[in-house]
A = this chain, B = another copy of it.
Amino acid sequence: MEKINLKDYAENFEDTYNDIQETFPKEVLPQAIICKFSSNEYIVRFDEDIQYLFFLLDGRAKIYIVHENGKRALIQFLKKNDFIGDLSLIEVEKNLKDVVAINECTCLAIPLASSREHLLNDKLFLYNLSRYLGDKLLKRTDHYTAMQDYEFKNRLARYILQIENDGFFQEKHTETAEYVGVSYRHLLYTLNQFHEEGLLEKRGRKYFIINKEKLERLSSKRD
- A: residues with CB less than 8 A from B are 65, 67-69, 71-73, 75, 86-87, 90-95, 120-121, 123, 126-127, 129-131, 133-138, 140-142, 144-150, 181, 220-222
Contact = CB atoms under 8 A, between A and B. Distances in A.
Contact of A134 (B65, B72, B73, B92): B92
A154 to B, nearest CB: 8
Q: Chain A: interface secondary structure? A: helix
Given A67-B146, A130-B133, A141 B75 contact: yes
A72 B144 contact: no
23 contacts: A65-B142, A67-B149, A67-B150, A69-B150, A69-B220, A72-B149, A75-B145, A87-B134, A87-B138, A90-B130, A91-B131, A92-B131, A93-B134, A93-B138, A120-B127, A123-B123, A126-B127, A133-B137, A137-B137, A140-B141, A140-B144, A144-B144, A148-B181
B140 A140 contact: yes
A71 B149 contact: yes
A81 to B, nearest CB: 15
Nearest to A133: B133
Contact of A221 (B68, B72, B141, B150): B68
A140 B220 CA distance: 23
Contacts of A69: 149-150, 220-222
Nearest to A72: B149
